[in-house]
Structure 1
Amino acid sequence: MAVSWCLVALLATVVTAVAGEVDKQYGLIHTLPGESCRDIYQKNPTSHGKSGYYAIKVNNRPSFVYCDMELECGGEKGWMKVTGIDAAKTDCPQGWSKITSPVAACRAPSDNAGCYSAQFSTQRVPYSRVCGMVIGYQKGGTDGFANFLYSARSINGPYVDGVSITYGTPRIHIWTYGMGHTKKTSYLPEYPSNCPCSRYPGRLPPSFVRDDYYCEAGALNGPTKGHQYVTSELVWDGKGCPDENSCCSFANLPWFFKQIPLISDKNLEARICRDESFSNEGVLVKEIKLYVQ
């Protein structure tokens, strides 16, 4: 009887050792894929702080995706990278054009008003959370959410001068980065083109945006003429707001976190939008990063 218990103890030790070895390989080899980047982070401690390519199950088949194991967003780590663009270092995505002067940035490929889409593949990986950031520059007299008052009245049109992030067909809103006219002043009574958080508040976003937005201007005093680039001040970076302007007060700027209502595997879409020609106003994207979980 004593021998049997010794044998059991020995077998338990062997199984534990093998299980420990398996854990170290979990998500690292195609024969042992994880369920998601988050799943690998939770189950394999050796992944902590080590961003890179990991094996996960996609339609019950192993696929290697880039997992950021350092980013914490929404209180969670283990995020799958969908895109990470810095116009100073990388090309702009298909659907946008790159400029290098007076700053390196992505812009709409046409001078006409409208929304210009860039699609970012999620590789058909199911997700229920989206995390990301956008920072950019202002050109001319961008008008925040005033567009909804005068022109576009749906999510499909230029309801904002800024960047609209959505997914699915029909589009479902994730986050909006609005670009207002000026940080501080207003040259017309009840002028609607400033951000809602400005010293002289502008129009609130449409109802489908809810509270899922940031809004900021680059220009301190306005209006800014259409040909002028405001290169001295980044927009949506949470810096440079004057007194009585709360646009920089959001704790996580420029990052957002969004729990979507239903699990999806649809691509993410970012659109640069404006309701006037590029000669009057422009939205320039310096960086955009998107992750899912």
Structure 2
Amino acid sequence: MMLSSILLLITCLQVISGSDFAFTFDANKNKCTATASTSSDRNHTHIILSNNTVLLEELLNATRQNAQAIKEIKSMINGGHNSCEAINDILLLVEELIMLHNDSSSFSPIPSSCQEIKNKQPNSPSGVYLLETATNGTQYIYCNMEELCGSGGGWTRLAYLNMTDSTENCPSGFRLYQSGGVRACGRVTSSEGSCVSVEFPSNGISYSQVCGRVVGYQFASPDAVDNIINGPESHNDINSYYVDGVSITRGSPRQHVWTLMAGVSGGFSTTEYPYNCPCSTGSLQSSKIQSFVGNDYYCESGAGNTWTHIFYPSDPLWDGQGCGSIETACCNVPGIPWFHRDYGNTTTTDYLELRVCANQDTGDEDTPVAFYEIYVK
């Protein structure tokens, strides 16, 4: 959470800790007066908060973690429901922000990972903390302190994209898709197979586990790992467009983390068996899965029994939902939509890389992504 955008509130609210608030609301002046009696000297401090939608917008931009709560408060105020209760909700959010800031910055030395904070303060909530990175000094980084991927809390987030946020842009080099209220990021226009990539540095954080999820969409006719168009060279090369979907790797040379494939159809179609997901009933692709992929993949189709050259915004990929009649096994995979790699006692500081790939031109197939979040610990 970016502290700079709410410095004024923090200055006013130093009395939050150990204080009792009493609110009075003046409907004529459309403002709320908060009287705080501090536990130390019981002196009264007065805070005047007027109908300030600019402040609310700054709070909204400052933290995705509390975005929905702030939107609801803003809606209440803009809708004429200004009340001390709404202002109190804002104060509680700021109180949480101050607590998160102090939880990490008060450590000496400043923690270098979310796991370190979790170990020292097991009850720490999820949020943005100040971490000391080995490569970029101190940074505010989001920590998920809840259990993920069956492996406890203390996860450090390296990658995040949420295209439902209208202010969010695609990563550099990606092309924006917009259809049916969905915004997603895919390959730049190409007349042949290609990949588009974004890298996420670890900032020197040492980790042995990777946990994440990706939401994508089908465009036209992706073929999962059937790659007969460009032959076995690209099919068996982790550095090439070996999949119609998303490849997640770490380090250089690339080491496979997870693959998210998109098959052409989720319905029964004997003529399309070569192009359906390897996990689909009767699929001929199970023997085509690359050795470096193994079982570390998910696969879904966004189309039904048939497909055409369109974008399919109604059925997100890799969420384990909305699977067709032959994709039951694909959607019943343990852990989905979260993928998890545990390297045991082996640790690394490798950067992570997410690539959207396909072995044919962008007019024939693509799998643009609309959301991803990837954590390490």
TM-score class, shorter: 0.7 to 0.9
Q: Which moved more, 1:58-67 or 1:74-83?
A: 58-67
- Which secondary structure state, in structure 1, belongs to the residue aligned with residue 238 of structure 2? coil
2:370 paired with 1:292: no
Q: Report the counterpart of residue 173 of structure 2 in structure 1.
A: 95
Q: Which structure 2 residues correspond to residues 58-69 of structure 1 after superposition, within 5 A? A: 58=134, 63-69=139-145
Q: Is the 8 A contact 1:177 1:213 kept in 2?
A: yes
Instruction: Give the aligned CA root-mean-square deviation in angstroms.
Output: 2.4
What are the equivalent positions in structure 2 for 1:61-140 lying under 5 Å apart? 63-89=139-165, 90-102=168-180, 103-112=182-191, 113-140=193-220
Report the Cα offset of residue 126 of structure 1: 1.5
CA apart distance, 1:94: 1.9
Q: Offset at 1:187? A: 4.3
1:50 maps to: 126
Q: Which moved more, 1:113-122 or 1:56-65?
A: 56-65
Contact 2:136–2:203 at 8 Å: present in 1 too? no
Query: Could you report, residue by residue, the CA deviation over 1:132-175 in whole angstroms, capped at 9, with x for unpaired residues?
Result: 10111101111011027853121011111000000111100000
- Name the stretch that deviates more: 57-66 or 247-256: 57-66
The answer as to whether partners of 1:216 and 1:247 remain within 8 angstroms in 2 is yes
1:252-291 equivalence runs, <5 A: 252-260=335-343, 262-291=346-375
The verdict on how the C-alpha distance between 1:100 and 1:29 changes in structure 2, with shifts beyond 3 A counting, is farther
TM-score computed with the length of structure 2 as normaliser = 0.65
Q: What is the one-letter code of the residue matched to 2:312?
A: V
How many Å apart are 1:30 and its aligned residue?
Answer: 6.0
Secondary structure of residue in 1 paired with 2:105: coil
SS at match of 1:254: coil
Q: Please tell me whether the aligned partners of residues 87 and 104 of structure 1 are also in contact (alpha carbons under 8 angstroms).
A: yes
Deviates more, 1:76-85 or 1:194-203: 194-203
After TM superposition, the structure 1 stretch with the greater mean CA deviation from structure 2, 53-62 or 105-114, is 53-62
Amino acid across the alignment from 2:281: R
Query: CA shift at 1:104, angstroms?
Result: 0.6
Deviations 1:221-279 (A, max 9, x none): 12x22x31112211111011244531110132111111237322121100000011111
- Structure ID, larger Rg: 2
Quickly say closer, same or farther: Cα 1:147–1:292, change in 2 above 3 A. Answer: same
Q: Which amino acid aligns with 1:159?
A: Y
Task: Give the Cα–Cα distance (whole angstroms) in 2 for the partners of residues 65 and 232 of structure 1.
Answer: 33
Cα distance in 2 for residues equivalent to 1:273 and 1:59: 30
SS of equivalent to 2:356 = strand
Preserved CA contact (<8 Å) 1:140 1:282: yes
Find the aligned partners of 1:128 and 1:26 in 2 and give their Cα distance. 25
Paired with 2:136 and 2:175, the residues of 1 have a C-alpha distance of 37
Corresponding residue SS for 1:125: coil
- Considering fraction of residues, name the structure with more helix: 2
Which sections of structure 2, spanning at least 5 residues, go unmatched?
Answer: 1-100
Question: Within 5 A, what are the aligned runs for 1:1-293?
Answer: 27-29=104-106, 31-47=108-124, 49-56=125-132, 58=134, 63-89=139-165, 90-102=168-180, 103-112=182-191, 113-147=193-227, 150-151=230-231, 152=234, 153-188=236-271, 191-204=273-286, 205-222=289-306, 224-225=307-308, 227-245=309-327, 246-260=329-343, 262-293=346-377
The whole-number CA distance in structure 2 between the counterparts of 1:181 and 1:274 is 12
* Higher RCO (C-alpha under 8 Å, 6+ residues apart): 1
Residue 235 of structure 1 aligns with an amino acid whose one-letter code is L
The SS at the match of 2:110 is coil
Return the letter of the residue paired with 1:196.
P
For 2:185 and 2:256, the matched residues in 1 are separated by: 22
Once the two structures are superposed, residues 80-129 of structure 1 have per-residue CA deviations (whole angstroms, 9 ceiling, x without a partner) of 11121111212222232222234310111232321111111221211111
Post-superposition offset of 1:72 = 2.0
Match of 1:3? none
